[in-house]
Homo-oligomer: A and B are copies of this chain.
């Protein structure tokens, strides 16, 4: 990598220090307007035209600059996770603190570090090339850490304004072996609760001979949903699963097999179905799954209590792949329960949900981003057709119809969402450089 100009490095550190100092915790509704204003000023200083668009929640910052036929859009967010538990931080979460080549602070990685890397890349690009020979747009929301409740609606309403040929996603970085990663999609997610109530109040368990047990019914319902290897047994569930393209299959097969190391780290002897290598990544990335987040009902304290509980509940999330639709999946779940006689199991939809997204690996933009990575990191990047996690990518890939790539400044030890969140300065600089290089590729430079 070519070293960053000192002015860019200084700008990046100062900008990140400035942003981390603003405690924009969306879960607590803290400092969101103030932070949006600070980001607006930063964008304006880079020569962009900025608008703050109100939503039913925190405002979305929209910015544009440059000039040309093609458009590159950045998606980021200016809100952060709560800093609790404060006592586990080794320096103040809202004071960017450098220790041993790392920068600590809430949002240092997620997502103020990444937002800053794009601003710094833009600054560097303009220092070197003068004008930007394409349109650049920013869409920066303030509610990502509370599930982006208004983003999909916002993108739909502003699709003409946001129109783009390429999108850089909010987060990313290097993997456990310091290999750069490019990812092109995310799984979707649906959350729900299953509830069973069989009596007006808890009964003495001797009545278990004649009164139905809600935990038995819940167990039966859950056991009916999938098999031992995680295959979903709900009728029609996988009908809309889009087959992987040949290129996606090939790309999956080139992901370095970290399953043995993951197994060791997680304390897992064997993954479901005994998979490893390509089969592991296929199962992890390309197959939907039904996951049980929790079951609770009846006595759970020390010793015993001979009680027949009156009610019980389970919290579930379902991870979706293209082209599964959350609403359809919920209908299939309801139909499954009905068909299998679970009239006593109530399905309650949770307040979160995302559609799955996967960009075409064959698109020029994905190839340009991969090349930029290869050049900046001086090694072959690991390309993921999609990650196993979920996020609000669907409005960009499907409403705007633009290919999306995830790049960033994190590494697996960044402790995002946790105390001592940080980035390594080396990753920060590489993250700035890769965005600048991708912009150059996009411009044909």
Say yes or no for A96: interface residue by CB 8 A criterion. Answer: no
Contact A284 B187 (CB under 8 A): no
Contact B299 A297 (CB under 8 A): no
Q: Which residue from B216, B230, B295, B307 sits with its C-beta under 8 Å from A209? A: B230
Say yes or no for A443: interface residue by CB 8 A criterion. Answer: no
Q: Which residue from B210, B271, B272, B341 sits with its C-beta under 8 Å from A230? A: B210
The SS class assigned to the A binding surface is: mixed
Contact A299 B315 (CB under 8 A): yes
Say yes or no for A414: interface residue by CB 8 A criterion. Answer: no
Alpha-carbon distance A205/B289, docked complex (angstroms): 10
Contact B293 A309 (CB under 8 A): yes
Contact A291 B388 (CB under 8 A): no
- Give every chain B residue within 8 A of A220 (Cβ-Cβ): 219, 223, 228
Tell me, rounded to whole Å, the shortest Cβ–Cβ distance linking A9 to chain B. Answer: 33
Say yes or no for A390: interface residue by CB 8 A criterion. Answer: yes
Sorting the interface of chain A by its residue count into under 10, 10 to 19, 20 to 34 or 35 or more gives 35 or more
Say yes or no for A127: interface residue by CB 8 A criterion. Answer: no
Alpha-carbon distance A88/B291, docked complex (angstroms): 42
Say yes or no for A191: interface residue by CB 8 A criterion. Answer: yes
Q: Which residue from B203, B206, B230 sits with its C-beta under 8 Å from A208? A: B230
Copies in the complex: 2
Tell me, rounded to whole Å, the shortest Cβ–Cβ distance linking A276 to chain B. Answer: 10
Contact A219 B223 (CB under 8 A): yes
- Give every chain B residue within 8 A of A204 (Cβ-Cβ): 389
Tell me, rounded to whole Å, the shortest Cβ–Cβ distance linking A247 to chain B. Answer: 22
Contact B283 A304 (CB under 8 A): no
Shortest Cβ-Cβ A-B pairs, 3 listed: A200-B267, A294-B298, A208-B291
What are 13 contact pairs spanning A and B, CB under 8 A? A189-B306, A208-B289, A208-B291, A209-B283, A210-B271, A212-B272, A215-B222, A219-B292, A294-B307, A295-B298, A295-B312, A298-B315, A304-B317
Given contacts A199-B266, A199-B267, 18 further A-B contacts (CB under 8 A): A191-B306, A199-B268, A200-B266, A201-B267, A203-B266, A206-B319, A206-B390, A208-B319, A209-B287, A209-B289, A210-B230, A212-B228, A212-B272, A293-B298, A293-B304, A303-B351, A304-B351, A306-B390
